[in-house]
């Protein structure tokens, strides 16, 4: 935990500039030294990250999308998930200095976690803009932080990477909708644990060059996957604490998956609602039904007919009320993510109402074998539901073929 009593010295001043080299506001940076090096951790919170997920917008890139998310009733969740990580970090027995931005850029959640941050940047504009993320990252470099911990999604990771310019390692607290990059903890608590181990100098913490990926949101909303590699960042790594980048499927998987999905359709029960999650694997179920699919959204079918496409959390909750329902999902390759990455519409409350015993997981054996994590992950944001889902889950990999895979939160 940050221990201000162990810090000695006098304050100094630095001027923080925005990307256009215009003065934003000079701030006092209280930098105090002690015998031995106390690590400095930079915290950046993107307060709007993840708001578009449950309302079916697949992201919050751009002001128009943000306003639409708010119109649909989206609520901020990034600070809450950052708080989960910081509480783990605050429990560290090793002193450290926490450097962040004013207000909702990090200061507020830091204080809520019981920490006393050093504020190095104060925005004069709306703090949800990407310029503020980049400006704060630049201020982190000026403050000589040892690691930048950011709360956001792939878009935030891109902004931080562009500003750090490979000068500082980074690690992400997963709070966005799109999290295909390999710089994120598997959940907020694990991100906090990993930073605490880094601060303590544990030898198990290694650094790797992690991919920064992002998908074009406009293309996503038109059911087109346009992924791009934006670069690599040095990032702390422990196998079960961070995720891997998204992996693709090979052509050899197609025959087995098609046979599996035809069998899934044959087994569908009359009058039961089937919530079909996003992805190319589940799209094969829709193809076997002869129905159009929302590749990156959630569809619902009953009695072989499409009764809802690209639905958000609230629409799903209304449909399942008082009805028998099942959820059919695949996993996000590389991550091993079952819930919490790219399918936030199937929220913890939807899962609770449907029941974990009514979840069908379908994937290829090749994808399971390729998982470096050795199992599946859930990160719904609800500790009770995550606990309900942990353990061993039946995963179908082909016609009349299944394996049991461990699920962790």
Q: Which two tokens stand for residue 276?
A: 């079909």
Q: Per-domain residue ranges for the chain?
A: 4-237, 251-408
pLDDT at 381: 87
pLDDT at 335: 72
> Rounded to an integer, what distance in angstroms lies between the CA atom of residue 359 and that of residue 347?
13
For 271-342, list the strands marked E by DSSP: 273-276, 299-302, 305-308, 325-329, 337-339
For 274-331, what is each residue's pLDDT tens digit?
A: 999 988 889 999 999 999 998 888 999 999 999 999 998 999 999 999 999 999 999 8
Confidence of residue 17 (pLDDT cuts 50, 70, 90): very low
pLDDT at 162 over 80: yes
DSSP H helical ranges for 52-146: 63-71, 78-90, 107-112, 130-142
pLDDT at 219: 52
For 47-80, what is each residue's pLDDT tens digit?
A: 877 555 554 455 555 556 556 555 666 566 788 8
- Give the mean model confidence (pLDDT) for residues 230-241: 89
> Rounded to an integer, what distance in angstroms lies between the CA atom of residue 296 and that of residue 283?
9
For the chain, the average pLDDT equals 81
Q: Which two tokens stand for residue 4?
A: 């201000």
Look up residue 303 and give its DSSP letter: T
> Rounded to an integer, what distance in angstroms lies between the CA atom of residue 217 and that of residue 173?
20
pTM (2 decimals)?
A: 0.63
Confidence of residue 178 (pLDDT cuts 50, 70, 90): low
pLDDT at 158 over 70: yes
For 210-225, what is each residue's pLDDT tens digit?
A: 888 887 655 554 555 5
> Rounded to an integer, what distance in angstroms lies between the CA atom of residue 351 and that of residue 378?
12
pLDDT at 111 over 80: yes
The strand pair at 170-174 and 12-17 is best described as: unpaired
pLDDT at 92: 85
- Look-up: residue for tokens 């394996």? 403
pLDDT at 39 over 90: yes
Q: How many C-beta neighbours within 10 Å does residue 91 have?
A: 13
pLDDT at 172: 95
pLDDT at 1: 40
**What separation, in Å, do the N-terminal and C-terminal C-alpha atoms of the chain show?**
25
């Amino acid at each position: 935990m940050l221990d201000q009593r162990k810090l000695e010295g006098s304050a100094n001043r630095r001027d923080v500039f925005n990307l256009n080299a215009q003065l934003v506001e000079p701030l006092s940076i209280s930098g105090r030294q002690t015998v031995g090096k106390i690590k400095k951790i930079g915290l950046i919170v993107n307060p709007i990250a993840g708001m578009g997920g449950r309302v079916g917008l697949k992201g919050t890139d751009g002001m128009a999308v943000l306003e639409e998310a708010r119109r649909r009733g989206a609520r901020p969740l990034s600070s809450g998930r950052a708080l989960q990580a910081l509480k783990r970090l605050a429990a560290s027995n090793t002193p450290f200095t926490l450097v962040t931005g004013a207000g909702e850029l990090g200061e507020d959640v830091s204080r809520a976690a019981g920490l006393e941050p050093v504020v190095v940047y104060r925005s004069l504009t709306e703090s949800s803009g990407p310029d503020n993320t980049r400006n704060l990252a630049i201020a982190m470099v000026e403050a000589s932080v040892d690691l930048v911990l950011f709360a956001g999604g792939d878009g935030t990771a891109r902004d931080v990477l562009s500003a750090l310019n490979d000068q500082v390692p980074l690690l992400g607290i997963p709070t966005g909708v799109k999290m295909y990059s390999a710089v994120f903890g598997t959940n907020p608590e694990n991100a906090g644990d990993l930073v605490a181990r880094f601060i303590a100098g544990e030898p198990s913490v290694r650094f790797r060059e992690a991919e920064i990926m992002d998908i074009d949101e406009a293309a996503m909303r038109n059911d087109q996957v346009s992924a791009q590699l934006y670069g690599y960042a040095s990032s702390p790594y422990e196998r079960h604490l961070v995720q891997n980048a998204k992996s693709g499927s090979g052509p050899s998987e197609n025959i087995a998956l098609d046979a599996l999905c035809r069998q899934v359709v044959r087994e569908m029960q009359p009058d039961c609602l089937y919530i079909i999650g996003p992805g190319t694997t589940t799209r094969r179920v829709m193809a076997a039904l002869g129905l159009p699919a929302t590749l990156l959204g959630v569809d619902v079918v009953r009695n072989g007919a499409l009764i809802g496409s690209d639905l958000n959390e609230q629409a799903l909750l209304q449909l399942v009320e008082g009805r028998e329902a099942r959820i059919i999902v695949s996993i996000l390759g590389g991550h091993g993510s079952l819930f919490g990455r790219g399918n936030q519409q199937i929220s913890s409350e939807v899962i609770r109402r449907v029941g974990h015993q009514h979840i069908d997981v379908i994937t290829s054996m090749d994808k399971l074998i390729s998982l470096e994590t050795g199992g599946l992950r859930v990160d719904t944001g609800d500790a009770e539901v995550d606990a309900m889902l942990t353990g061993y889950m039946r995963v179908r990999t082909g016609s009349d073929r299944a394996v049991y895979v461990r699920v962790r939160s």
